[in-house]
Structure 1
Amino acid sequence: MADHLYDLLSPHLPPTDAKLSQNPTTIQYLNRLPTLSLDALQTTECQSLTQSAHSNLLSLQALSNRSHKSFVTSADSLCNLSSSIPRLTRQVQELRKGVPKLDEEAVRFSSKYSRVAENTTLEQRKKVMRLSRNVDRISDILELPTLLATAVSSAAATSGNAGTSFSTTYSAALDLHAHIKRLQTLYPDSPLVRDVALQAEDAMREMASNLITALHAQNLRLAAAMRIVGWIRRVAPELDAIHGDGGVSAGGGALGALFLVCRLANLVSTLEALEPLRELADQETQRRTRSLDQKSGPGSWADGHQTEKYLKRYIEIFREQSFGIVSLYRGIFTQDQSDLGAAVPGIRGIDRRIKTAQSSPVDCTPDPFQCLPPALATFPAHLVQLITGTLRTYLPNIQDKTARESLLTQVLYCAASLGRLGGDFSMVLTELCDADDEDTEGFAYEWEEVMRKHRELAGRLEQLTGAGPTSPTGSSKGALQPTSPAAA
């Protein structure tokens, strides 16, 4: 029925609508027309079609307003569809050709990284992956030398008062070095840890140099000196060890000698500050020598006032510094008698070593460096040579007997000050006089007179205070010592 109606209406349709016969909507509408009455076809059907067309137009307008971007995108895609399909076809063909090559590469990869046997490539890959997982830990290990060097330089820059401040920085540096040594013990075959340990040793050498420099500081106190020596012991423990039966040497070993050398350098630098006074004293010495050569009277040159100032200040500095050096040493490097006996073998020990050497076929010649005395045993002798050389050079310049006795009294108190620490050198001063020198001919008698007066004063003080036995210089150990020649 729909076909007959379409044939009947086709002359009245536009030529472009010839394909409407296959349209399902057209067929459905043609099937509906016979069901309508003639009156409905003439009156209501036109209005219904007009209303449906207007409703569809409004729907299309709303749809285009709401989804125009999708329409534009769809239109563009539809325009590119003609070129996209051939391109997709070419890519599919290329993919089809690459599948065999991909299969070959997969087979080669499988055979290369097979776990059937030991595979060096696979092991290397495992190492790389392990390195990637532990990159943070390795970065921390690599930063250890930098942190250590920063701590050492920061402590050296900020600890200006002989190590009395910023002790925590040095302690942190030593803790870092101990951690690096622990890593080296745990991983002895690791080249990374070995390089880190070498860099840490460089920083430790710099720290040891800074600590040794701190021992040269002025006004070094016992607490600061003990801290510095303790740090040096941790940085360079080999300084405490010396040849012997595996024990620590008496008197601090090489560290004690190093301490005395540093403090002696500080003493010498302090005495060198008296250079202007010493130059004036040298000028008086030259004038005295010229006057003796010309055999002129004693009034032809000055009576040694500049030399007196120089020696007075020299003896004051020497007394204070020498007593401080020896007292600091004894306060830091205190050893028991058992340690001293272990460091210096007795007669039985030497005899036992000789018998062992005779019975052993191996060459067991005793090492002469095993019986080295403590550094403090020879240090006072050097101090005595320092002050006696100065007195022998400049004391003849002083012609005033009262000034000379005042200086000798000051020297006597200096000897008594060191005598309390076992370094009395009062009897050595009797050798200041030279038999061939007329200027020093009466110094021995003056020194004996000063000693006699000092003993008489000490005896009176003992009677007043009821003190105990006297010191080698004749003074009581409990008696008060004058601090200046004026007080004497």
Structure 2
Amino acid sequence: MEQEQEKLLSMLFDGDFPDHWKDDVDVAVFLRNFASLGIDQISREPDQLKDDKRAVLQQTQDLAFSHYKTFIRTAHCSKDLYDDMNTAEKKLEGILNVLPQMQEKTKLFIDKGSELNGKRRLNSLTLAKHTGLLELLELPQIMESCVRSSYYEEALELSAFVKRLEKKHSHISAIAGIVKEVQHSNQMMLMQLLTQLRKDIQLPQCLKVIGYIRRMDVFSETQLRIKFLQARNSWLSGILSAISRDDRYHHMTRTLELYRVHLFDILTQYRALFSEDPQPIFTSFLQHKVSELLKTLEEDLLEGGGNMRTDSLLGQAMYFGLSLSRMGGDFRALLPKIFQDAAIRSLKNSLADANMKFQDGLSLLFLNAPANMPCLLSSTMASSQDDLHPPLSLLEFYPLAEYTNSVLGAFNDLRLCCPLSCVLPVTEAVTMSLEDAASAVRDLQRQEESSLNASERELLKNFIDRFSSILLPYIGRCFQALFPLSQLSSVLGVSPQQLKAEGLGILDEERVRGLLHSTNSALILA
């Protein structure tokens, strides 16, 4: 049917017609009517259409003339409607352009509204939980107050509560801030507790302090032991450093006393606090303190010189070593070497001073010498041969008397602390001192030999005799009083005769006399 309509349209309009006519209903109706007409009707149809057209035009003109006002208003209305439609279209286009932004902003508004609504709910919940939250926020302040007031028990409870809180709500920033502040207070509490250990503190308080530190769980057990010893050692070192060093004897006695009292307390506290101690920590600390004490003892003995009462110091040190033996720190076996070295050093210094004074006295030997000097050798030998009193005949010569007094002073200092083990170095030191004195006499004789008169030669000869026959034997007897052959024999397990044969425990007087003999022979020949 559609193909027939299309052929009919092509025949009527020579194929030149719009495409939309094919689907137009009015065109289809016209074609049906047209197809139903006869030839006569079709031939008359153009004229009929023209007449219809003229009639329609006439009617239209009449209608327009009769209702021209309506047409005018319609035209104006159409124009206004057209303008309004254009304006509406433009505004609609503007709305369409704005709609995406509006949609986006609406979404943002919805999101913001949801966020504000969530915050509002949180604020409402916060207000409902205000009291509990206030308590949580006040935890750092309460913790700090407890620490500053030394309420450590309460502070530890608060710290434990905050730790549990951190495990459950560590993702909350407020909780993280509270934890940080409480940790700061914990550090301050730890410093306070360690500071207490650096003071004069008794065992009950030590137990409390160590218990608090253990509950803080900041140190391992080994670290806690080391921290305790470090703190107590710091306190002990502080009171030891406060002792004046002007008087070395006072410094050493005071040091020994403080060591004996406080070190023993520290070790007792340590054993009470740490019953299951790994021995190396305790032993290392004890060895360290004993080494410090021995070093201080050596320094004081070195600086104190002959002004030290070594016997008293040795007694105190031995007593301290005995008391410390209960802790496994008996150091008494180390003391003899220290005191022996100090005694020998002091003896050598005293003998060196004696030799210097002797040489100074020799330079004045021939000044103010009496013209007729009595010889008391035979009268004094008998009275001073069997005792340790200084021979009075030595008073005839000031250098000999002064030298004797100096040597006796050195022997008396040595006698306070005179172990038998130092017999060899003491023997050598005294022999060398006597040899130096004899050499000084020899040098004097050689220097003054050509200028001496008979009286001065006699004076020098008597001086040498006193030195050889009185001074040397007297010094030898004093030396044997320091180191009795019977004691040496008992210790070494040999007879006194064998000791004499070996020259152990006696002075080699012949070596000294050998130097004086050559001088005296020269005087006799002269």
The interval holding the TM-score normalised by the smaller chain is 0.3 to 0.5
Which structure: larger Rg? 2
TM-score normalised over the length of structure 1: 0.46
TM-score normalised over the length of structure 2: 0.43
Select the structure that is richer in helix.
2
